[in-house]
A and B are shown apart, each in its own frame.
Chain A
Amino acid sequence: MQTTIATLKKGEKAVIKDFDVEAIPLKLLEMGCLPGNVVELLQIAPFGDPLYLNINGSHLAIRIETAREIEVDIIDPRTKDELAKQK
């Protein structure tokens, strides 16, 4: 399954990879929801929808249908030191 904003866990950070332009309101792009920008899932509303995000420094909430359209790469929360130790 592909990773989207909808599959993130609370507190996880990710980088926006790609999305279908048609499915996303232009307003969201203008608020900074663009490929390459960091998104952090701050809070999930009761019943799992909507999602409260920090995208590129803006705090905003989107519904889960929109979130499913936005593909992301999760940023490993472990620091560089921890990764080095593992190796």
Chain B
Amino acid sequence: MSKQNINIALIGNPNVGKTSVFNQLTGLNQQVGNYPGITVDKKLGFCKLSNTLKANVLDLPGTYSLNASSVDENVVIDLLLNKNDKLYPDVILLVTEVENLKRNLLLFTQIKDLEIPTILVINMIDRMEHKGISLDIPYLETQLKTKIALVSSRKGIGFEELKKLITTYKTLSTEPCLNASEIDEVYFNNLRKAFPNQSLYKLWLVITQDVNFVNLNRKLLEKNSFTKTDSELKRLQQKETIKRYQFINDTLKIGQKIDVASAKDFRSKLDRVLTHKVWGYLIFFFILFGIFQSIFEWSKIPMDFIDRTFASLSSTASRNLPPGIFTDLVSQGIIPGIGGILIFIPQITFLFLFISVLEESGYMSRVVFLMDKIMRKFGI
């Protein structure tokens, strides 16, 4: 790796548009999806920040917090706790969106505790006015001890400014924005005494997440400080979460203004119909029926085409090749065999197309809500 390449990691809640920010920065056309955990693996791209500075941009799976509960979330923690990883970020872009800033900031305060330079990227600012939200950026920047970049990945606004901001990463504050160790002073003081060189929050994550990195693991930590039962740890985690939210609430009370009148939106009306006792099921039934019908109707044309092509291919082969076992193998075995598989491709294509539309529109979550009681009996 050349000496001028810095590592940037994109972190944020699911569905805040991390991948579209990634695309804007790197110019790659990464596929953007809406399934939970679509970015299961890390995605890497390159970005030219200025004439002298280039960066590796890493797109990480969406996560709500550093308390991991799924494989994708573990990917994030593993990277952030391992300073020796060659992709260990020099700077983190914490991607959030205007509408759910409160929830997004929980992750921000956790990341900040890791003492890595962090820029808060607020995405979807083009929707801010529409939602009646206004932000006091200078106030938020001082409270959160960070720099804020306002962007809209959909309209491509704010990325030049963001790139400029990234080049100044060495001057960014690495100070945590709240002191989470207050939740149990004795415990954390002991921890600090036992491991004076490590960041306190990192140790805390190792204990609660049971992840291992380099030469630190939970057993070692427990031997050196003192043990807490799992339920005590859970209580502490709750305390920690509450404390973080208190800080966020206090900050946003001053830094964010929401005009409630314009917040009442289309979504609640649509939800009322889609999850209705009668209409919900009817709509679901019609959508399924429609998908079923169109898969068969639409794929008929390409299927017929494939059928005809392979039939003529097979007859051409048997006509033009000398008769014998080999010709029979090709004209009656291989060609119809491949045709028999390929003929299902149109149907499968349409099926997956519909499934991704259902997922991306968010309709699937409504169906889960409707069907949960029934499906649970089957363990789904």
Q: Which residues of A contact B (CB under 8 A)?
A: 21-22, 25-27, 29-32, 34-35, 42-43, 45-47, 49-50, 52, 56-59, 61, 63
Q: Which chain B positions have C-beta within 8 A of A50? A: 369, 372-373
Besides the known contacts A26-B69, A32-B245, A45-B275, 12 further A-B residue pairs in the complex with CB atoms under 8 A apart: A21-B231, A22-B234, A26-B234, A27-B65, A42-B268, A42-B271, A43-B275, A45-B372, A46-B373, A50-B372, A58-B100, A61-B365
Using A58-B103, A61-B369 as known contacts, say yes or no to A26 and B275 having CB atoms under 8 A apart.
no
Instruction: Determine whether the beta carbon of A57 is less than 8 Å from that of B237.
Output: no
The residue in chain B whose Cβ has the minimal distance to the Cβ of A58 is: B103
B272 within 8 A of A: yes
User: A43-B271, A56-B102 are known contacts. Are A31 and B64 too (CB-CB below 8 A)?
Assistant: yes
Minimal Cβ-Cβ distance residue in A for B241: A29
Distance to closest chain B CB from A39 (angstroms)? 14
**What are the 7 tightest A-B residue pairs by CB atom distance, in nearest-first order?**
A30-B65, A21-B238, A43-B275, A47-B373, A29-B241, A61-B369, A46-B277
Given contacts A34-B242, A43-B275, A56-B103, contact A26 B373 (CB under 8 A): no
- Known A-B contacts A30-B67, A34-B245, A43-B275; A52 and B268 likewise in contact (beta carbons under 8 Å): no
Chain A residue contacts of B238, Cβ below 8 A: 21, 26, 29
Q: B370 contacts the other chain (Cβ, under 8 Å)?
A: yes
Q: A30-B67, A50-B369 are in contact. Are A57 and B102 (CB under 8 A)?
A: yes
Q: How large is the interface on B (under 10, 10 to 19, 20 to 34, 35 or more residues)?
A: 20 to 34
CB distance from A48 to the nearest CB of B (A): 8
Within 8 Å of chain A (Cβ to Cβ): is B281? yes
Chain B nearest CB: distance from A58 CB in Å? 6
Q: What secondary structure prevails in chain A residues at the interface with B?
A: mixed
Q: Contacting B103 at CB < 8 Å: which of A26, A32, A52, A63?
A: A32
CB distance from A15 to the nearest CB of B (A): 14
Question: Which residues from chain B contact A63 at a C-beta distance below 8 Å?
Answer: 372
- Between A and B, 9 residue pairs with Cβ closer than 8 Å are A26-B67, A26-B69, A30-B103, A30-B241, A42-B268, A42-B271, A46-B370, A57-B99, A61-B369
Query: Are the C-beta atoms of A22 and B369 separated by less than 8 Å?
Result: no
Type the 1/0 row for B41-63, where 1 means its CB is closer than 8 Å to any CB of A: 00000000000000000000000
CB neighbours (8 Å) of B9 from chain A are: none
A27–B234 CA distance with the chains assembled, in angstroms = 12
Residues of chain B whose beta carbon lies under 8 Å from any beta carbon of chain A: 64-65, 67, 69, 99-100, 102-103, 106, 231, 234-235, 237-238, 241-242, 245, 267-268, 271-272, 275, 277, 280-281, 365, 368-370, 372-373
Query: Are the CB atoms of A31 and B373 closer together than 8 Å?
Result: no
The complex places the Cα of A47 from the Cα of B280 at a distance, in Å, of 13
* B241 engages A26 (CB within 8 Å): yes
Q: Which residue of A lies closest to B107 (CB)?
A: A30
* CA gap between A57 and B271 in the complex, in Å: 15
Q: Which of B69, B99, B234, B372 has the most CB of A within 10 A?
A: B372
Task: Tell me the complex Cα distance, A56–B178, Å.
Answer: 21
How many angstroms between the C-alpha atoms of A82 and B245 in the bound complex?
A: 33
Q: Contacts of A43 on B, CB cut-off 8 Å? A: 271-272, 275, 369
Chain A residues whose CB sits within 8 angstroms of the CB of B69 once the complex forms: 25-27
In the assembled complex, the Cα of A50 lies from the Cα of B365 at a distance in Å of 12
In the complex the two chains form, what is the Cα distance from A80 to B67 in whole Å?
41
CA–CA, A50 to B357, complex, Å?
Answer: 24
A26 surroundings in chain B (CB, below 8 A): 65, 67, 69, 234, 237-238, 241
Closest to B236 in A: A21
Q: Quote the shortest CB–CB distance from B212 to chain A (angstroms).
A: 21
Instruction: Compute how far the CA of A62 lies from the CA of B102 in the bound complex, rounded to whole angstroms.
Output: 20
Chain B: minimal CB distance from A3 (Å): 21
Given A42-B271, A46-B281, CB of A30 within 8 Å of CB of B102: no
Q: Report the bound CA distance from A52 to B367 in whole Å.
A: 12
